[in-house]
Structure 1
């Protein structure tokens, strides 16, 4: 996938995997920082001794931490759209947390563009089927449909759309 594309090329990518991110290690420092930011200090995330007694055998990442990594994964692997002025999160559908991410594991994101449609003079709505793979695991950590808006100057809108 090219590192940069034009707005007129986006719709031709529908149905394709448009990004595969680099691996990110989810360590205890990251988990603890997320716990502090969200005030979610459940022992399964922040207490390695107590978490070792659970079926997980140690701490696991918050599901919302795993979901939030999609932003970094997006910046890492999706092609930049030359005309884009700003990207906006519109939301998620069908978020499913399928497997816990154990502390120390590496994860990476897969992005399949499923829809790209112009909306108004200076916006394009995009939908991605996203999944976060856990290295060495059969099931992904999560799957979701991620909806975003690409904002651009209306003068850059391709003709005929």
Structure 2
């Protein structure tokens, strides 16, 4: 369970790792469902027999599937802000797909706050440096600079 923190605590956390998510198993069923949803049925993702002939020796998850798991990783790994009314995915500054996620692998996210700025009366923009680890692999699946927005009641804005 991720820690619960107050809005006023966020600026002091800039530059620190604030959480690590639970492990998520990326199995063939998940990969196949993602292929169906995105209409990307390239054999390296969905054909285990043909994928055996590749340097990976098995099917691999789509890079966008690995990236999309950040939402679940955020929920189980990043701190929960007590005053938050709603969270918004604002986007990414940088994404690097560094290592394929083989079918059956487990992945988890590591969250470091790179920046946090109050915007307007009821928003906090948080920039995370996220690394998605693959269990028992030396290189991560991906790294990303992810920007989120925390919306809160203006009455809860701390005086900084």
TM-score exceeds 0.5? yes
Contact 2:118 2:125 in 1 (8 A): yes
User: 2-side partners of 1:79 and 1:127: how far apart?
Assistant: 13
Query: What is the aligned partner in structure 2 of residue 58 from structure 1?
Result: 58
SS at 1:99 equivalent: coil
- What is the SS of the residue equivalent to 1:67? helix
* Residue 147, structure 1, aligned to residue 147, structure 2: yes
> In the alignment, what sits opposite 2:34?
34
The equivalent of 1:84 in structure 2 is: 84
Aligned length: 160
Q: Partner of 1:9 in structure 2?
A: 9
Q: Secondary structure in 1 aligned to 2:10?
A: helix
- Corresponding residue number in structure 1 for 2:20: 20
Which residue is equivalent to 1:123?
123
C-alpha distance after superposition, 1:70-129 (max 9, x if no partner): 100000011211110000001011100000000011111000001011011100110000
SS of match in other structure, 2:149: strand
Q: Deviations over 1:41-77 (max 9, x none)?
A: 1110000001111111010000000000110000001
Distance 1:2 1:21, change over 3 A: closer
- Cα distance in structure 1, aligned partners of 2:3 and 2:25: 23
Q: Residue 102 of structure 2: SS of its match in structure 1? A: coil
Q: Distance in 2 between matches of 1:116 and 1:71?
A: 19
Deviating beyond 6 angstroms after TM superposition, the runs of 4 or more aligned structure 1 residues are none
In structure 2, what is the equivalent of residue 49 of structure 1?
49
Q: State the Cα distance separating 1:2 from its structure 2 match.
A: 6.4
- TM normalised by structure 1 equals 0.96
User: In structure 2, how many angstroms separate the alpha carbons of the residues matched to 1:24 and 1:39?
Assistant: 23
User: TM-score by structure 2 length?
Assistant: 0.97
